[in-house]
Amino acid sequence: MNYERGDVLTLSNNKNYVVVTTVTYEEKNYVYLIAEEDYSDVMFCECDGESFEKVYNAELIKKLLDLCKKDFEEILREYRPEK
């Protein structure tokens, strides 16, 4: 399944998370999520259909953040337009 920015997902911990961005790396799909009720609760998850596995590997997280950089910049421009 394809996820888009703004989609709301309920994970196995029964918390709702909003999709911030998605990325494919080494033929695997990842979503960057933020909890609806706790904005400090963010994570990358590998997604395979309807299952989500949180990413803990620091090197992989760094790579995914780098790949998502343009998306993050676009989001910031949307919410904080330049004067």
pLDDT tens, residue by residue, 8-26: 999 989 999 999 999 999 9
pLDDT tens, residue by residue, 23-49: 999 999 999 999 999 989 999 999 987
Q: How confident is the model at residue 81 (pLDDT cuts 50, 70, 90)?
A: low
What is the amino acid identity at position 55?
V
CA 35/CA 12 separation, integer angstroms: 13
CA 13/CA 73 separation, integer angstroms: 30
CA 15/CA 26 separation, integer angstroms: 28
Tokens of 35: 């909890």
Radius of gyration of the chain (CA): 13
- The pTM for the full model equals 0.84
Res 69: pLDDT: 86
Q: How confident is the model at residue 70 (pLDDT cuts 50, 70, 90)?
A: confident
